[in-house]
Amino acid sequence: MLAVAPDRLAAIPAAPGAYLLVDGRGRVLYVGRAGVLRSRVRSYWSASLDRPGLRGMVRRVRRILIAPAASEHEAALLERVLLERLDPPFNRTQGIEVLVALRVSTAPPQIAAVVELERNAPHFGPYLGWAPTLAAASALARMFPLHLCRPGSELGSLALDLARRKGVSIADASRLARSVVDVLDARPDAVDGIVIALERDRDRAADLRLFEQAAEVQRQLVGIRWITQAQRLMHLAPSGDGWVCDEERIAAVLGAVS
């Protein structure tokens, strides 16, 4: 944790993390997150700040608490937890971003984005936000078509034709599932491989003037980059049906407020 006065903003690191704006009485006025903390926090003291309500808040700030994070995704998770615990008066968030898991299985063969967790099911996450996680699931299915690894009798004519063109069958389910898990475990070679493949598909679509397809692949690429960012704040509970937060880390942030 780092505590900075408003006239010492240069001391804020140019790194990911969450920040808390605190008044003279030790009350948290606002909680935010950023990929580059120094630039984001400095923007509150910029002449270009265009939210009148925030200008009044900024005049009350006496301390900025900085909670570093391993990535922008971890910063977002940290912000989510702090918003739930503190409910700052100047945050205008409508609801809290949802925690999403990716479920990978071979029986039935699928890659699914889910919110409700099932005991004993293979879940990965948590990932913050439904849209980027669903986009990442689409990217994984695009590159590793686990869902096509079914008996021909279970596939429609279009899916059966796609499976043939991609050269996959029920015998490939375990291999494809392992490849998906390698990406979700953020193995550098696996992540690099899917990123390069998606960039190739995006650029090929753009060259063919298939701009909607290129935009969809770009959305999937953003999703993969989001879910493979490092985060150590939350993990799957031993029971397998919920998420566990690093309470010592949260307590350190909350303790620095008082």
User: So what's the pLDDT on residue 28?
Assistant: 97
Domains annotated for the chain, with CATH where assigned, are: 2-96+246-257 (3.40.1440.10), 99-227 (no CATH)
User: So what's the pLDDT on residue 154?
Assistant: 84
Residues 234 and 126: their CA atoms lie apart, in Å, by 7
Residue 47 has pLDDT above 80, yes or no: no
- Token readout for 56 is 């009044």
Residue 49 has pLDDT above 70, yes or no: no
Residues 192 and 196: their CA atoms lie apart, in Å, by 6
Cα separations in angstroms, 16 against 36, 38, 72, 76, 141: 5, 9, 5, 9, 30
185 within 8 A of 179, measured Cβ to Cβ? no
Amino acid identity of residue 148, one-letter, is L
Q: What is the mean pLDDT of the chain?
A: 93
67 φψ region: left (φ > 0), alpha (ψ -120 to 50), beta (else)? beta
The mean per-residue pLDDT over the stretch 68-87 comes to 96
User: So what's the pLDDT on residue 95?
Assistant: 64
Residue 68 has pLDDT above 70, yes or no: yes
User: So what's the pLDDT on residue 157?
Assistant: 87
User: So what's the pLDDT on residue 202?
Assistant: 98
pLDDT in tens, 185-244: 999 999 999 999 999 999 999 999 999 999 999 999 999 999 999 999 999 999 888 999
The mean per-residue pLDDT over the stretch 90-114 comes to 88
Residue 159 has pLDDT above 80, yes or no: yes
Residues 158 and 138: their CA atoms lie apart, in Å, by 18
Q: Under 8 Å CB-to-CB from 67, ≥6 apart: which residues? A: 1, 17, 18, 19, 20, 78, 82, 253
Please state whether beta strands 2-4 and 17-23 pair in parallel, antiparallel, or not at all (unpaired). Answer: unpaired
Cα separations in angstroms, 197 against 121, 143, 202, 217: 29, 8, 9, 10
Q: How wide is the angle at C-alpha 13 spanned by C-alphas 10 and 15, nearest 5°?
A: 140
Residue 93 has pLDDT above 90, yes or no: no
**pLDDT tier at 48 (50, 70, 90 boundaries)?**
low
pLDDT in tens, 128-138: 999 999 999 99
137 within 8 A of 113, measured Cβ to Cβ? yes
User: So what's the pLDDT on residue 120?
Assistant: 80
Amino acid identity of residue 19, one-letter, is Y
Q: Under 8 Å CB-to-CB from 84, ≥6 apart: which residues? A: 96
Higher pLDDT, 71 or 160: 71
User: So what's the pLDDT on residue 151?
Assistant: 87
Percent of the chain with pLDDT over 90: 77
